[in-house]
A and B are shown apart, each in its own frame.
Chain A
Amino acid sequence: MSAEDKLPVLAFARPARPAASATPPPAAAPQRQRRAALPADLARAIAALQGALEAELCRPRAQPDLPARASSDEAEEDSFSPVGEPRARPGMPRPHAITRRGEDEDKDPLARRLTAIHLPRFAIERWLRLAERQGEAVSDEAPLALAVEGPHGPVIHDMTRAAAQAGVVHGARVVDMRALCPGLRVEFADPGAERAALARLMLWARRWCPWSAVDGMAGGAAGLMLDTTGSDHLWGGEAGMLREIEARLATLGLGARLACAPTQGAAWALARLSGPRAVCGAAELPAQVAPLPVRALRLGPDTVLLLQRLGLKTVGDLAAVPRISLARRFSRAAPAENPLMRLDQMMGRLAEPLASPDDPPRFAVEARLAEPVQDPGAWLPGLCEELCAALAAAGFGARRLTLTVYRSDGEVSSLGVATARPSRDPAHLRRLFDDRLERIEPGFGFDLITLDAPVAEDMSAVQRRLDGGVDAEADLARLIDRLSARLGAGAVRRPAPGLSHIPERREGWQPALAGGTTLPPTPAPPGRPLRLFSPPEEVRVVYAVPEGPPAQFIWRRVTHRVARFAGPERIAPEWWADRPGTRLRDYWRIEDEAGRRFWIYREGVLGDGRGDVPRWFVHGAFA
C-alpha cells in the first residue's frame, strides 16, 4: 500500500461525531453544547482536509515502488513481449512518460469532451416536415400550434414562429391562446411518436461519435448528449465538428444549438444559454459558466425560484457560497434538485457517466443492380444466404423479414414475412417469399433490392437429436411459417382454450405464428360435440312441455324427429362477463330418427322475465 492511498490524519480536539453506541447517552445539557459546537467543528475539519489535500497535490509524485518498476522494465526491455505496448527503442522517449500522462488524463474528470445538442423546436419542426412530406406544406409564418391534453383541456405543446410572435406561449391553455390569436390553427401533437423519432435521431447521431444518449424532452424541445472525446479531429477540430452537426441537422429541418464542454452539465448549460456553437475547454470552464443563470444547473423551477429568492442569481454566485452552507441548506433535496450536486457535476467534481443505450443489432443486405429489372427472384437466394451468414455470425435468427425494392421511378414497395421460430436457414427463408413476389409492383423496374430482418432473436446453434433425425418441432415451425406466409397469419391457428364454461368461449384459437406455450386445457366436461357451429343456428321446435325435451325441430328446412335425448344440462351465463339480461341455456343431446346426433339448446325459460318465448338453437353435432 503506497502512501498515497492513506487518508491524511486530521488533528481534532474532539471527534466530530461521537460513537453513540459505544458511549452511554450523555445528559441533555452537554448534547446541546455539542450540537451548538458542531458547525465550528465541521468547518475546522473541512479546512484541515483542504490543507492536507493541497499538501498532497503539491508534493512531487515519488512513490517508493515506482523506481523498482522502472528498473524491472529496463531489465526486461530486450526480452520478447507478444502483447501489450510497443517496446521503446533507444533514442525514443521513455514510454513511462506517456503512460503516466495517460493515467493522469484518465483520472482527470475534465478530460472528456461532451457535446450537447439542443433542439429547441423539435416538435413543431418535425410536424412541419411530416406535413410537407404528405403534400400539405404549412409555412412557419402561419400561426399554428401543437396541443397536448392537459388536466383542464388541451394546452400548447409547441408553435410556429408566427404563433410565437403573436404571443402564444408553451404550456398555456389553447382556449386562452385562441383569444389572443384568433387565427390560430391547432393540431394535436403525438408525444409518443416524438419520443420514438428522438430515439432514432439519437442512433443517427452516432455518425459523429460512438456514444450518444437522449437528454430529455421538455415541451416541444428535445436534447441529445454525445460523448465526442477524441472524434473531433475527423472534422478538423471541435468548431468544425459543431458546424458539421449543425449543417446535417439543418438538412433534416431541425434547428439546433450546440455546445462542447468537458462535462455534461456545462455542455447542457452552454448549449441552451450561451452563444452559438460554444466550445469550452477545461481551463476556462469556471469562467465560462460563472455568468450563466442558476437555471443552467438543470434544476427544477421551484429550486431555481428558491435560489433567486436567496439572492443567488448566477452560477458564479452559487459557487462563491461555502460548500458547507449549501450542503446544509439543501441536505433534504432530491439528488437531481440539489444545487450543490448539480454544481459539482458541472464542474467535474462529481462523475456523471453518459448512459448510452446499445445500438440494436441490424441485419440487412442489399443488391445494387446495374440496370433496372422486373423480377427480384433471381437475386433472392443470394440475398438470403448473405443475410443468414450475417445472422449466423452474430448468433441470431430472423423472426421477420422485409424485402424492399427501390424502383427507378422513385417508388418503394416491400414485402414482409414472419417465422414462428428464429430461423437462419437460407432455403427456408427464400421459400417464404414463393408466390408472393408477384405481389411486388415492379413498375418500370427497380435497381436496388434490400433484404433486412427487422426482428431478430437470439438463436444459439443446438443439436437436438443424436441419431441424425429431423427435429420435429423445427419441422413443424417451418410448416407454420410457410402456411402463414401464404394464407395469412390469422388463417393458421392452434388451440388456446379459454377459461370459461360457456362452450363457445372455451373454444379459443390463436395464430400459430404467435408462438408461446398454450395453457394446458382444463379438463373438458363430458358430453361435448365434435363439431361446433358458430354462430349457433336457430331452429323451430315442437315440444310437449315448454321446459321439456323437443319432440321435433326444423333446421335448414329439414324436419328432424327426435328419437332419443339426454339432458338438460343447464349452463348459466357468466354474470361477470355477460350483459345484464343474458338468458341461461338448457342443452340437450338428441338423436333423430336417422341416427344423427346434435347438441341443441333452449335459450332461457318461459317466465324468467328476460324476454319472450325462449328460442332454440343447434350448437353442435356429435359423432
Chain B
Amino acid sequence: MPPSAALPPALRASLQARPGPAAVTEEAATLAPTLAEVFAVTAADAAVTGFVLARLTAQAAQEARGGASGGHPEPRPETRPEARPILWVQDRLSRREAGVPCLAGLGTTRLLLVEARQPRAALWAMEEGLGCGALAGVVGEIWGDPAVLDFTATKRLALRAEAQGVPAWLIRRAATPALSAARERWRVAALPAEADPDDLRAPGAPLWRAELFRARWRRPGAWVARPVSGGLVMEHGTDAGAAQTAAPQAARA
C-alpha cells in the first residue's frame, strides 16, 4: 500500500495538484481536516480551548492559501474561512464544569453554540455539522468516558470530517484515552506564560505543553505551543524549559 493511500481524499487531491517539497507535504498533513482528539490534563482551565481555536485558525488559513492558488485570487467574503462559523457542541457536564465560550475573549470568531443534554445528542449534532460544508470547524466537548463514544462513533466522525473537508475536534475532559479512531490524539496542559514586557508581575502570552501521543500520518512528539496571529507555533522543549525557568524569576524580580 503506497503511503499516500492512507491520506484523506481532499488532501490527496491537493497534493496531486501541487507538486512540492516534502516540507509542504508535512505541513499539509499536520493541518489536513480530519478528526483530532484533545485530552485536557486539568479539566477547568482553558488551555485546551485556546489550543483548539489556534489550530482551527491555522487550518482555516491553510485552506485559504490552498483556495487562493486554485484560481480565484480573492475568495468571496461569505466563503472566506474566517467568515464561516464554528459549530461548538457541549454536553451538560462540560458546560457546568468548564464553562461556556466567552464572546468577549473570542474576538472575531463566529460561533454556533449547541447545548446537548447527553453525549449521544452531542455526537449526533457533531455528525450533522460535519455534513454541512458552510462551517469552519466542528468542536465537541464530551465529559468523561460515556459508552456511546466508542471506536465506531469516532470512526464515523473521522470519515465524515475527511469526506466533507471540515476539521473536527473532540475535547475530552476527565477522560481516559481508550480505543479511538481519531487521526491525531493530543494531550494539552497549561504552562506558565511568557513574561509580560510591560509588567513583570503579570502573565503574558500563553504557552501550552502539547503532546501528540498518537497520530496516523506523522511522528508523535511533545512541543511547547504558543498562539500567534493566524495560527500556532510549536517548538521543541528548549524554549519551554527557558520559559518555565524565566517565569518564576520574573515573578520574584
Q: Point out residues on A near B: beta carbons under 8 Å.
A: 470, 472-473, 475-476, 478-480, 482-483, 486-487, 491-495, 497, 503, 506-509, 512, 521, 524-525, 528-534, 556, 563-566, 589-591, 594-598, 620-623
Contact = CB atoms under 8 A, between A and B. Distances in A.
Given A507-B104, A530-B49, A589 B133 contact: no
Interface stretch (B25-33, B57-65, B155-163, B198-206): B198-206
Interface in B72-93: 78-79, 84-85, 87
Contacts of B101: 530-532
Given A512-B112, A524-B104, A621-B99, 20 more contacts: A479-B131, A486-B121, A492-B113, A493-B113, A494-B111, A494-B113, A507-B103, A530-B46, A530-B50, A530-B53, A563-B248, A564-B203, A591-B193, A595-B247, A597-B203, A620-B99, A621-B45, A622-B105, A622-B206, A623-B206
A532 B99 contact: yes
- Nearest first, the 4 A-B pairs at minimum CB distance are A623-B50, A566-B202, A528-B104, A472-B134
Contacts of A503: 102, 104
B140 interface: no
Interface stretch (B12-20, B122-130, B213-221): B122-130
A531 B79 contact: no
Contact of B79 (A472, A486, A530, A595): A472
User: Which of B100, B129, B248 has the most C-beta atoms of chain A within 10 angstroms of its own C-beta?
Assistant: B100
A77 B110 CA distance: 73
Contact of B133 (A475, A495, A590): A475
Given A528-B105, A564-B202, A597-B45, A480 B100 contact: no
Contacts of B203: 564, 566, 589-591, 597, 622
Interface in B225-253: 227, 247-248, 250-251
Contacts of A621: 44-46, 98-99
Contact of A506 (B103, B112, B192, B248): B103
Contacts of A486: 121, 124-125
Contacts of A506: 103-104
Interface of B: 42, 44-47, 49-51, 53, 78-79, 84-85, 87, 98-107, 110-117, 121, 124-125, 128-129, 131-135, 189-193, 196, 199, 201-203, 206-208, 227, 247-248, 250-251
22 contacts: A472-B79, A472-B84, A476-B132, A478-B132, A480-B112, A483-B114, A486-B124, A491-B114, A492-B112, A494-B112, A525-B104, A528-B104, A531-B49, A531-B98, A531-B101, A531-B105, A564-B247, A566-B202, A591-B193, A620-B46, A623-B46, A623-B49
A530 B102 contact: yes
Contacts of A508: 103
Nearest to B45: A596
Contact of A597 (B53, B99, B100, B190): B190
Given A528-B104, A595-B191, A487 B121 contact: yes
User: Which of A472, A506, A534 has the most C-beta atoms of chain B within 10 angstroms of its own C-beta?
Assistant: A472
A445 to B, nearest CB: 30
Looking at chain B's contact residues, the main secondary structure is: mixed
A534 B202 CA distance: 25
Contacts of B98: 531, 621
Contacts of A479: 87, 128-129, 131-132, 134-135
B134 A591 contact: no
Contacts of A493: 112-115
Contacts of B50: 530, 622-623
B47 A521 contact: no
A482 B127 CA distance: 12
A564 B103 CA distance: 25
A480 B114 CA distance: 10
A495 B111 contact: yes
User: Which of A476, A480, A486, A524 has the most C-beta atoms of chain B within 10 angstroms of its own C-beta?
Assistant: A476
A512 B78 CA distance: 18
B202 A563 contact: no
A566 B203 CA distance: 7
